[in-house]
Structure 1
Amino acid sequence: MNRVVTLVVAGFIAIMLLSSTLFVVNQKRHAILFSFGKVSEVYSEPGLYFKLPAPFQNVVFLDKQVLTLDTPDAERFITAEKTNILVDAYVKWRIAVPLKYYVSFNGDEARARDRLAQIVKAALNDEITKRSVRDVISGQRAAVMAAIQKKVVGEAALVGIDIVDVRLKRVDYVDEINASVYERMKAERVKAANELRSTGSAESEGLRAEADRKRTEILSRAFRASEEIKGQGDAQASKIYAEAFGKSPEFYKFYRSLEAYRASFNSHGDVMVVDANSEFFKYFRSPGGAAAPAKAK
């Protein structure tokens, strides 16, 4: 029985010793092997590796994946026009040289992030101070990011970091400038609106004046045409009257008298004080228009 227990304990100890001499490096990590506190080997390829048990040798693992440095708050920078702007950027990075990275930061990712943030801020400051707000926001934004990335890549390589990408997330004015910018934009829009209203009003007045002129011309031409037609009608009527007068003077006199009667007695309230024997009523006395008989003396 004691022999069995001894064998089990010995087997357990052997397994523990064997497991302490093996370590696995997967595709997501680097491994640095230390011998008595000094770097012995660096492993970046995935696989199963052997080492001496601690404390003779120990392993430190570093992340091989692409990491993101995202600044929590936008940084303030001054452009070439001495204008304050807020810039929010992010960086994609990874550990390229594990040994150099470990020596620089003792494997502490927080320290590496702080150092990388300082590098990015210095590069941003160098590039933004040489350019205008317009260039940073839109005009030369791609060139700004390319220049920043070039500087950051060079600085980061010294500490074993590979920069994958650098991007500007947001470029904006500081709050105190935003208000003045909005007011200026508002004033410009109001000015443009007033100019459009003024132009529209002038054009509408011109259209109205043109319409009134054309209306006057149309009415004038219509009146002239109507007067010409009326004149032609009167001339035609006069001609007909003249022909009728020439054919039957008595009938013409009778017709004209009837028109005079119609015009004189057009209303029931019309009153005329005329001698009944006057020439005006001769066709009332006789259809032939004979003179009234003389009164006896």
Structure 2
Amino acid sequence: MRKPLFLIMVVTLVVMCASLFVVKEGQRGIVLRFGKVLRDDDKKPLIYNPGLHIKIPFIETVKNLDARIQTMENQADRFVTMEKKDLIVDSYIKWRISDFSRYYLATGGGDVSQAEVLLKRKFSDRLRSELGRLDVKGIVTDSRNRLMTDVREALNNGTSGSDEELQTNTADNAIASVVARVERETNGGPQPSVNPNSMAALGIKVVDVRIKQINLPTEVSDAIYQRMRAEREAVARRHRSQGLEEAEKLRAAADYKVTRTLSEAKRQALIIRGEADAETTKLYADAFNKDPAFYAFIRSLRAYENSFNNNDMIVLSPESDFFRFMKSPKGTTR
């Protein structure tokens, strides 16, 4: 008796657990019954807000859609400005789902990649059209913020077919075909409040559009860098030549100053030496005048000292006047 009751309780608990599902905060739920979306009276998918909900167990399944803001990174692409100059633009888009039922039908069951493909095509064509109206200066200055605002508004609200510079036919045709399929699936008529070539027709709202980086093409950048390098090298050579010129001037001035200083020093030395020689000669003359014999004797002693202090041989006649102070009083040489 207890065993069947226990089995009944287990089965009941399993059925209750399978009947309940939770939609997390930041998500929306869509219930599928046998693979088909549950719809309301207007043939639109039923959307479940965050919270606890009930479904038929084992028959219905839940598909969750992300309601948060999502970021789509765009690969850097080449764009042409009003001046017919190429730019490589790197950008990203912030977007979120605004109409979950329309988004689910337009993307074939909430496929994010399909939504981003359509969004990227629309954004790329619209950005190309907007950049074609501006020059490079306007793109990189204050016009850049206005450009991003115009692109965002064009994505959200669409563009009129009367625009002369409208270049988004390919993307608009793709979005229009998706919108037509959504209308067929919901069996509803056209909605005047939604532009068929806007992202709102897909249930998407673009929150923000930003350009991360703007670069020149590689070949243009290389040419600019080569020209800048050549200009910098020319400036460097000019500075080097000016430096060498200044160095030569300083070196010449230093050499001239050194030569002038040395010449002045030599002149002063010669003057001092001449004055010293004159003073010496005067002293010798005074001494000679006072005692010429003694002066001659001293001069002879110095000559003997300088002549006889080495092993050199001197051949002189004994009668030479050189030996007059070495002779004995009798006149013979010692």
Fold match (TM-score > 0.5)? yes
The residue that corresponds to 2:222 in the other structure is 179
Residue in structure 1 matching 2:23, options 12, 17, 25: 25
Corresponding residue to 1:285 among 315, 324, 328: 324
Superposed displacement of residue 47, structure 1: 0.5
Q: Could you say which residue in structure 2 is the equivalent of 1:247?
A: 290
Matches within 5 A, 1:5-16: 15=15
In the aligned structure 2, how far is the partner of 1:78 from the partner of 1:264? Answer: 107
CA deviation after TM superposition for structure 1 residue 40, in Å = 6.5
Give 2:253's aligned residue: 210
Secondary structure, aligned partner of 1:286: helix
In the TM superposition, what are the counterparts of 1:113-128 in structure 2 within 5 Å? Answer: 113-125=116-128, 126-127=130-131
- Deviation sequence 1:15-59 (CA, Å, 0-9, x none): 38x956x54321131235622671275444x2023568999x997
- Deviation (angstroms), 1:64: 1.5
Aligned equivalents of 1:54, 1:147: Cα separation in 2: 53
**In structure 1, distance between residues paired with 2:123 and 2:298:** 115
Report if the CA contact (8 A) 1:156-1:163 is conserved.
yes
2:70 is the alignment partner of 1:67: yes
Is 1:110 equivalent to 2:109 in the alignment? no
From the superposition, tell whether residues 262 and 115 of structure 1 become closer, same or farther in structure 2 (CA, over 3 Å): farther
Equivalent residues in 2 for 1:157-172 (5 A)?
Answer: 157-158=156-157, 159=200, 160-172=203-215
Letter in 1 for 2:278: A
Aligned residues: 271
**Matched position secondary structure for 1:38:** coil
Tell me the SS of whatever aligns to 2:44.
strand
The answer as to whether partners of 2:122 and 2:155 remain within 8 angstroms in 1 is: yes
Q: What residue identity is the alignment partner of 1:94?
A: R
- What is the CA–CA distance in structure 2 between the aligned matches of 1:40 and 1:69, rounded to whole Å? 26
Provide the secondary structure at the position in 1 that maps to 2:134.
coil
Establish whether residue 197 from structure 1 lines up as the match of residue 240 from structure 2.
Answer: yes
User: Aligned residue for 1:92?
Assistant: 94
Which TM-score applies when normalising by structure 2?
A: 0.62
Shift of residue 89 of structure 1? 1.9
Considering Cα pairs closer than 8 Å and 6+ residues apart, tell me whether 1 or 2 has the greater RCO.
Answer: 2
Query: Which residue matches 1:229?
Result: 272
For residues 126 and 306 of structure 2, the distance between their equivalents in structure 1, rounded to whole angstroms, comes to: 108
Q: 8 Å contact 1:153–1:162 — kept in the other structure?
A: no
- Are 1:75 and 1:86, in contact at CA under 8 Å, matched by a contact in 2? yes
> What is the identity percentage for the equivalent residue pairs of Structure 1 and Structure 2?
36
Q: Structure 1: how far apart are the matches of 2:281 and 2:122?
A: 111
| SS, match of residue 114 in structure 1 | helix
Cα distance in structure 1, aligned partners of 2:252 and 2:306: 44
Deviation at residue 220 of structure 1 after TM alignment? 1.4
Structure 1 unaligned residues grouped into runs of 5+:
none
Q: Which amino acid aligns with 2:204?
A: I
Q: Scaled by the length of structure 1, what TM-score is found?
A: 0.68
> Distance between the aligned counterparts of 1:260 and 1:128, measured in 2?
111
How many angstroms apart in 2 are the aligned matches of 1:167 and 1:84? 19
Q: Deviations over 1:148-181 (max 9, x none)?
A: 4323432343424344554444433323323323
After superposition, what is the alpha-carbon deviation per residue over 1:207-239, rounded to whole angstroms, capped at 9, x for unaligned? Answer: 221221121122112212211221221122123
Seen in structure 2, the aligned counterparts of structure 1 residues 128 and 258 have a Cα distance that, compared at 3 Å, is farther
Distance 1:97 1:187, change over 3 A: same
8 Å contact kept, 2:45–2:101: no
Cα distance 1:97–1:232, how it changes in 2: closer, same or farther (>3 A)? farther
Closer/same/farther in 2, CA of residues 254 and 233 from structure 1, 3 Å limit: same
